[in-house]
Amino acid sequence: MTLEALADLKIEIEKNVPGAVVEIITNPSVSAQHSLLIDNAHGLAVAMFLRDAPELKLDYCSNVTGIDWPAREMSEKTKVKKMVEGPDGPVEKDVDEVRKWTTPAYLEVVYHLYSMTLGTGPVILRLRTGDRGENVQVPSFFSVWRSCDLQEREVYDLYGMIFEGHPDLRRLLMWDEFTDWPMRRDYVDPDDYEYEPTAHDDVLKRAKVHYPAAAPTEGNA
């Protein structure tokens, strides 16, 4: 979908769903798959509108996936003119100023929508959680597209966002007793690196952690 078409769609949504906050997220890569960020409070109403509006008829949700955005340390260097104490009194000088900030941490759900009736798509929707800890609620689109059922369960299983309104939000791939979220960036997988015949890169690092250098391993010498 081109940026112009997406801007039209944004206006269309804001006109028909009062109060909805829609933001266009551009994708600078070659694929240029731009998407719409929807606010959680109006998520369900927007989804209903996209499905039922006669000129859109996005009746098929083909894919639901998640993205983890942990907080990142960012820094930017800028040249600033400043008064500096010189040998002959204050002098104006160019000084490097480093600005540091942390990006907000949140989880994202991404929906890919198509219209089987009109043969259009994909329209890409995003929903964001408040943070990565307690406020991980997003609206479930189960009642809009039934194909979201298993896919939202999978996203819940791997990323840990809570889909409010999903009738059966259980783990799908991992067992019920499992407490981690394996697809989050800070997930540490279990240490079963006892045997790595061709260890390299990250695997080599993990294998070395498993076998501390001090521990003698018989038969290797």
Positions touching other proteins (CB under 8 A) are 173-180, 182, 187, 189-190, 192, 194-200, 203-204, 207-208, 211, 213, 216-221
CB of 214 to other proteins, least distance (A): 9
CB of 85 to other proteins, least distance (A): 38
Distance between CA atoms of residues 22 and 17, nearest Å: 10
Choice between 49 and 156, CB closer to other proteins:
156
CB of 168 to other proteins, least distance (A): 18
CB of 161 to other proteins, least distance (A): 18
Choice between 186 and 189, CB closer to other proteins:
189
Choice between 130 and 182, CB closer to other proteins:
182
Choice between 168 and 176, CB closer to other proteins:
176
Buried b (16+ CB within 10 A) or exposed e, 165-194: bbeebeeeeeeeeeeebebeeeeeeeeebe
Find the helix packing angle between 43-52 and 3-16, rounded to 10°: 110
Parallel, antiparallel or unpaired: strands 89-102 and 106-115: unpaired
CB of 204 to other proteins, least distance (A): 5
Choice between 96 and 192, CB closer to other proteins:
192
Parallel, antiparallel or unpaired: strands 106-115 and 22-25: unpaired
